[in-house]
Chain A
Amino acid sequence: MSDLNELLPLMMKGTLVTIQIAVISILLAIVMAGVATALRAAPYRAVRWAGNVYVEVFRGTSLLVQLFWLFFVLPLPPFNVQLTPFTVAIVGLGLHYGAYGSEILRGALRSVPGGQYEAALALNMPAAARLRRIVLPQAMINALPPATNLMIELLKGTSLVSLITLSDLTFRARQLDEATFKTAEVFGLTLLIYFVLAQVIVAVMRVFERRVSSHVAIRRTVPGAAS
């Protein structure tokens, strides 16, 4: 039991860093998903093309390659952009999962029946109100379950930032493993902490899901909701 008392404080420190990175990158990913979806629905072909390139490039390459690119290549000439590991982690995770999120958002927006757009148009609603009051609330019902899965993917993705020298949970686990040789305990505890964090995400998102679907009482379809 005394082993656990030695391990826990350092692990908790790492867990805090992991939570910090996960929360900020989830927020950035949501923003990027919105921006990319807006770009891909733009009336100009060049803008649509830019949105598509962003999504395809970030979905098509590995997260680790992207993190390494930001971490090793950007500080060198000709870019000379020096970012802290923390910024690299946030930007890398946010951009990567934002691209996936854009696909979810696009699918959810498309699932809103066309008659809803037309009815809002017929009621002479301005575009912003149409989106905010008619389309988005209905799209959210379909977007949230896959978004929950994506957030868990992001949480798991944060473990890769340990490879760019950030002292997150995974980094602490490696460090403690090397210092104490309690390999099984350290990694077992790490797995458990990640599992608990993922369950917290599921629980929080369930609250949001209930809130967005409470106004739409007639039909509640939750496609792709994996347990």
Chain B
Amino acid sequence: MTSLGQLFDVKYALHILPELARAATYTIGITLVGFAIALVLGLVLAIMRRSEFAPLARTTAFFIEFIRSTPLLIQVYVLFYVAPLYGFTMSALTAGTLGIAVHYACYVSEVYRAGLNGVARGQWEASCALSLSPWRTYTGVVLPQAIRPVIPALGNYLVAMFKDTPVLSAITVVELMQQAKNIGSETFRYLEPITMTGIFFLIISVTFASGVRHLERRVRLP
């Protein structure tokens, strides 16, 4: 056997590829569902933070700050171990997806906030002068202008979120990393599964990153 063969057993790698690929689609599914929730929840948080009712704005700001400066792992533990004590029993998958979604909603809301702050004051005043309802002001005038420039930043958080999904393995969600570890503990060969997991993450995030760059060029305002 060649030294390369000893380093990385290609036959074994091909053998475990289907199992890893199945776990990979699971990981991608968690990311997409989680990010969809984060996009909506983040927008709600961003708008709540701008509320004229000061206690609401301040509570939201503190919530965002708190979630952003505490580890995702503990937040997921709280959802999985503490929430059942108060009657919210969730499967590991639901708790994990919800946890990662809420965590990134707070990051995403900061992105939206930057976008909302970028909208010219005159746009708000014009909506007010036309006596548009708050709903029409946001959906018809402000949000289209606020979201367009921050799309690349949102894309970056999609990649970041994708790379954080292995944290969910700590609450027994069998995503890619957990699957790789399971395979490793069955066969006592950790090199191939964990390396392949790393390569998989690298490929997906490099692809995503170039997609974001492409998007950045396309949505750039002239």
Residues of A within 8 A of B (CB): 56-57, 59-66, 68-69, 72-73, 76-78, 152, 155-160, 162-163, 170, 173-174, 177, 183-184, 187-188, 190-191, 194-195, 198-199, 226-227
Main secondary structure of the interface of A (DSSP, over half): helix
Q: Indicate whether A76 sits within 8 Å of B191 (C-beta atoms), given known contacts A170-B73, A187-B78.
A: yes
* Apart from the given pairs A64-B167, A72-B190, 11 other A-B contacts in the complex at a CB distance below 8 Å: A66-B198, A76-B191, A152-B68, A156-B71, A156-B72, A159-B73, A160-B73, A191-B75, A194-B69, A199-B69, A227-B61
Q: Which among A69, A162, A188, A195 is the interface contact of B198 at CB below 8 angstroms?
A: A69
In the complex, A59 Cα to B6 Cα: how many Å? 28
Between A and B, 10 residue pairs with Cβ closer than 8 Å are A57-B202, A62-B166, A62-B177, A156-B71, A160-B73, A187-B78, A191-B74, A191-B78, A199-B69, A227-B61
B12 to chain A, nearest CB (A): 13
Q: Which among B77, B82, B169, B205 is the interface contact of A60 at CB below 8 angstroms?
A: B205
Interface hub of B71, B189, B202, B205 (most chain A Cβ within 10 A): B71
Interface hub of B73, B78, B170, B202 (most chain A Cβ within 10 A): B73
Q: Which among B3, B164, B194 is the interface contact of A72 at CB below 8 angstroms?
A: B194
B157 to chain A, nearest CB (A): 13
**Chain B residues near A56 (CB-CB < 8 A):** 202, 206
Scan B184-212; emit 1 where CB is below 8 A from any A CB, else 0: 10000111001101100110011001000
Give me the 6 closest cross-chain CB pairs, A-B, nearest first: A198-B69, A159-B71, A72-B190, A64-B166, A156-B71, A60-B202
* Residues 34-75 of B at the A interface (beta carbon under 8 Å): 61, 65-66, 68-75
In the complex, A160 Cα to B163 Cα: how many Å? 13
Residues of B within 8 A of A (CB): 3, 6-7, 61, 65-66, 68-75, 77-78, 81-82, 85, 110, 163-167, 169-170, 177, 180-181, 184, 189-191, 194-195, 197-198, 201-202, 205-206, 209
**Chain B residues near A57 (CB-CB < 8 A):** 202
In the complex, A34 Cα to B190 Cα: how many Å? 32
Contact B169 A64 (CB under 8 A): yes
**Chain B residues near A160 (CB-CB < 8 A):** 71, 73, 167
A179 to chain B, nearest CB (A): 14
Contact B77 A61 (CB under 8 A): no
Main secondary structure of the interface of B (DSSP, over half): helix
B6 to chain A, nearest CB (A): 6
Contact A68 B194 (CB under 8 A): yes
**Chain A residues near B190 (CB-CB < 8 A):** 68, 72-73, 76
Q: Indicate whether A152 sits within 8 Å of B69 (C-beta atoms), given known contacts A65-B197, A68-B181.
A: yes
Tell me the total A-B contact number using a CB cutoff of 8 A: 115
Question: Nearest B residue to A227 by beta-carbon distance?
Answer: B65
A10 to chain B, nearest CB (A): 16
B185 to chain A, nearest CB (A): 9
B70 to chain A, nearest CB (A): 4
Contact B65 A191 (CB under 8 A): no
Q: Which among A76, A163, A184, A187 is the interface contact of B74 at CB below 8 angstroms?
A: A187
**Chain A residues near B167 (CB-CB < 8 A):** 64, 160
B207 to chain A, nearest CB (A): 10
Question: Nearest A residue to B190 by beta-carbon distance?
Answer: A72
Contact A170 B177 (CB under 8 A): no
Question: Nearest A residue to B205 by beta-carbon distance?
Answer: A60
A195 to chain B, nearest CB (A): 5
Interface hub of A65, A187, A190 (most chain B Cβ within 10 A): A65
A215 to chain B, nearest CB (A): 29
B126 to chain A, nearest CB (A): 28
Q: Indicate whether A60 sits within 8 Å of B201 (C-beta atoms), given known contacts A174-B77, A191-B78.
A: yes
A42 to chain B, nearest CB (A): 23
Q: Indicate whether A162 sits within 8 Å of B164 (C-beta atoms), given known contacts A73-B194, A183-B85.
A: no
B60 to chain A, nearest CB (A): 12
**Chain B residues near A60 (CB-CB < 8 A):** 163, 201-202, 205-206, 209
In the complex, A160 Cα to B197 Cα: how many Å? 17
**Chain B residues near A173 (CB-CB < 8 A):** 74, 77
In the complex, A158 Cα to B177 Cα: how many Å? 18
